[in-house]
Amino acid sequence: MDLDGLDDILNTETASLPLVELDPKYFGKIDEYDVQSGQFGASETPILIPIQVEDDIVIYWDPLADYYDNGTADPVEMTLSETTFLRLWSRAERARWTLWIDGQEQKKMAEFTDTDQ
């Protein structure tokens, strides 16, 4: 998936905001993070919620940044350049995942009953 695909998801009315996995190097870009290695030296995986792609930047929400910066009750939107976001999102040595939910048009119960008989 590329940024156009991500933008399509963000602009689909029936789709949820996506969750994206980034390279652990993302943690080095945020001052509040002091990430320690997990079991067997494994790194934690950053998961972000992109909100918008525009003018060469990706606007996103990082739930852990708000957790560590508990001085504010409101979520803080953050930005990365498209280049940096793509580098962290699509590193060649490992496939990264993106998850979203896309709804379908709702049917009334009567419509199900009519087609089942």
Q: Could you tell me the pLDDT band of residue 71, with boundaries at 50, 70 and 90? A: low
Question: In which band, very low, low, confident or very high, does the pLDDT at 12 lie, cut at 50, 70 and 90?
Answer: very high
For residue 105, what pLDDT is reported? Answer: 77
pLDDT averaged over every residue in the chain: 80
Contact assessment for residue 18 and residue 98, using Cβ atoms and an 8 Å cutoff: yes
HSE of 79, CA atoms in CB hemisphere, 13 A? 8
pLDDT in tens, 25-56: 888 776 666 666 666 766 778 889 999 999 89
